[in-house]
Structure 1
Amino acid sequence: MKHPVDVHVGKRIRHRRWMLGMTQQQLGEAVGIKFQQIQKYETGMNRVSASRLWDIGQVLDVRIAFFFEGLASEYDQDSARDNVDQAGDLLADREALELVRSYYAIPEEQRRKLFDLARVLSDVA
């Protein structure tokens, strides 16, 4: 059975990799492992060791804490499972990830205007 923390960490790895436009193959090569192992990490099938998570964080240019953001207290397993389910829906949506990546590719001033427009439109809906 997959542990909710392993699933959450895997989704955060996939999310960051996607944001950088990196393939599983590229991440695996940079870390020194096969892409199949990256697949297993991203699905939560295999647990990521601390040293491997450090290496992945270095390649993805994030702090180790990034992989645990949004996760409930380790003592609150029911809440952790709920958070994994909610966060996983958005992170698994390819369209949402592409939208976020495209959004951050827009120059900051234009991005701010687009953000304000989106907020107004969502308030009207």
Structure 2
Amino acid sequence: MKHPVDAHVGQRIRHRRWMLGITQQQLGDAVGIKFQQIQKYETGMNRVSASRLWDIARALDVSISFFFEGLSAEDAAEHPAQEKGDMPRDLMADKEAMELIRSYYTIPEAQRRRLFDLARVLSDVA
């Protein structure tokens, strides 16, 4: 059975890899393991050892703490709380949210600011 902390760390690995636009194969090559092992880490099926997490952090150009950001004591419990409303519990694991973020940052800054203001107004109305 997956431990919630292992699943969280795996999601953070997947999120960072995806944001950098690299494949599981490329990450595996960078840390000296097969892509299947990266797959198992990302799903939380296998735990990442401290030394391997160190290697992954270096390959993804983040600090070790990046993988634990957003993890609360409640999240780490064996029985995490239910999701609230329609918002996914983990936005970084939601493919649609990640595509939206990636697309958002390709928009020129002035238009991006206007889009942000529009989204804020629309969310206030809803």
Length-normalised TM-score, structure 2: 0.84
Is contact 1:72-1:83 (8 Å) kept?
Answer: no
Evaluate the alpha carbon distance shift between residue 31 and residue 82 of structure 1 in structure 2; reply closer, same or farther with a 3 A threshold: farther
Equivalences, count: 121
Task: Tell me if 1:42 matches 2:42.
Answer: yes
Asked whether the equivalents of residues 17 and 23 of structure 1 are also in contact (C-alpha less than 8 Å), the reply is yes
CA–CA distance in structure 1, aligned partners of residues 18 and 66 of structure 2: 15
**Partner Cα distance (1:28, 1:102) in 2:** 26
Percent identity between matched residues is 76
Give the 3-state SS of the residue equivalent to 1:105 in structure 2. Answer: coil
Q: TM-score, normalised by structure 1?
A: 0.84
C-alpha RMSD of matched pairs (Å) = 2.2
SS of residue paired to 1:25: helix
Runs of 5+ consecutive residues of structure 1 not aligned to the other structure: none
Which of 81, 86, 89 is the equivalent residue of 1:86?
89
**Higher percent of residues as helix:** 1
Mapped partners of 1:24, 1:13: distance in 2: 10
Quote how far apart the aligned CAs of 1:18 are.
Answer: 1.1
After TM superposition, give the deviation of residue 38 of structure 1 in Å.
0.3
Distance apart, 1:73 and its partner CA: 2.8
Cα deviation, residue 3, structure 1:
0.9
Distance 1:53 1:69 in 2: 14
Q: Provide runs of 4+ in structure 1 moved above 4 Å.
A: none
